[in-house]
Amino acid sequence: MVEANQRSAYSRPMSEPTKSEKGESAVEVAADCPRCQKPMPLCICDSVTPIESRISLLILQHPQEQDRALGTARLTAQHFEQAVVKVGLSWPSLSKALGRPVPDPSRWAVLYLGSAKVADLDTSSDVVAINRKGELEDHQRGILNDIEGIVLLDGTWSQAKALWWRNPWMLKCQRVILNPKHPSRYGALRREPRRDGLSTIEAAGMLIAALERRPQIAAVLNASFERMLTRFREVQHTMPELAPKPKGRPKRDFRRRKRG
Ligand SMILES: [Zn+2]
């Protein structure tokens, strides 16, 4: 289930007349895919096969995360039957955000790096549960085995931070961070990568694959992401208005763990 409320600011119904603005004519005339909300030339939805997964997925998207060309929240959600995408800044509870009762929020995990530094933690695990101080939780295996749903914060680092602080119910959930061994496949395409370096779709794949011990889930999501990026690069040549180059220099803030 993907809910499209509050998208009116930047998603146009296909029937609405389009304005012709200088330099944006292709952006204006290209219809949006109702599933991924990308302009149709950038859409790869037809190639997505949903995965059966035990873990539920909720993606909270900051309203200013408007990168329709390179965003991955809705593409990620299409891989899972029960995934929910919500756009907004705050919700009164996990149940309200998700749209169904959650008996035990402590069996949900929010992926939020914040100021935690995985390199400072003594771990080589892909997924790490941390406490409010950003330290390793004592019972990693027990916490991670009990997780039944995850919350991803979709946006830039500062947008994710805003979502974290505006939704205090997240403190009732577990908090997890990722320990990626490789930087994002976005490469230089994205101006302001997430601080943990990964796109939402890569993060979802890595997290769910680790929690379910099914590496194939990460492989499927990464393959979809590769197809999305390949399509983007093709469109950059044929319809550059739809696939703008990033402005300015990409921030290189992926902090790679030093390995001795
Ligand atoms: Zn689509």
Taking the centre of ligand 1 as the mean of its atom positions, its distance from the CA of residue 249, in whole angstroms, is: 28
Taking the centre of ligand 1 as the mean of its atom positions, its distance from the CA of residue 36, in whole angstroms, is: 4
- State the residue range of the domain holding 57: 53-237
Residue 194: inside a domain:
yes
Taking the centre of ligand 1 as the mean of its atom positions, its distance from the CA of residue 26, in whole angstroms, is: 17
pLDDT in tens, 120-139: 888 889 999 999 888 999 99
pLDDT of residue 6: 40
Q: Indicate the burial class of 248 (C-beta count within 10 angstroms; 0-12, 13-18, 19 or more).
A: exposed
Taking the centre of ligand 1 as the mean of its atom positions, its distance from the CA of residue 196, in whole angstroms, is: 26
**Stretch 131-157: mean pLDDT:** 93
How far apart, in Å, are the Cα atoms of 71 and each of 74, 84, 119, 199, 260? 8, 16, 27, 8, 35
Residue 86: inside a domain:
yes
Percent of the chain scored above 70 by pLDDT? 81
Q: Which of 20, 31, 41, 66 is nearest to 236 (CA)?
A: 41
How far apart, in Å, are the Cα atoms of 257 and each of 182, 202, 209? 10, 18, 21
The CATH number covering residue 185 comes to 3.40.1280
Residue 47: inside a domain:
no
Phi, psi for 139 (deg, rounded to 5): -110, 70
pLDDT of residue 93: 98
pLDDT in tens, 166-196: 999 999 999 999 998 888 888 777 755 544 5
Residue 221: inside a domain:
yes
Taking the centre of ligand 1 as the mean of its atom positions, its distance from the CA of residue 48, in whole angstroms, is: 9
Q: Indicate the burial class of 180 (C-beta count within 10 angstroms; 0-12, 13-18, 19 or more).
A: middle
Residue 71: inside a domain:
yes
Percent of the chain scored above 90 by pLDDT? 60
How far apart, in Å, are the Cα atoms of 176 and each of 122, 123, 238? 15, 13, 40
pLDDT in tens, 212-241: 999 999 999 999 999 999 999 999 999 888
Query: How far is 11 from 116, CA to CA, in rounded Å?
Result: 35
Residue 123: inside a domain:
yes
pLDDT of residue 112: 94
Q: What total number of domains does the chain contain?
A: 1
> Which residues, in sequence order, are CB contacts of 82 under 8 Å at separation 6+?
1, 56, 57
Predicted confidence band of residue 68 (pLDDT cuts 50, 70, 90) = confident
pLDDT of residue 42: 95
- State the Cα angle at 165 between 164 and 166, rounded to 5°: 95
Residue 214: inside a domain:
yes
pLDDT of residue 188: 73
Is pLDDT at 209 greater than 60 in this prediction? yes
Residue 8: inside a domain:
no
pTM summary value: 0.82
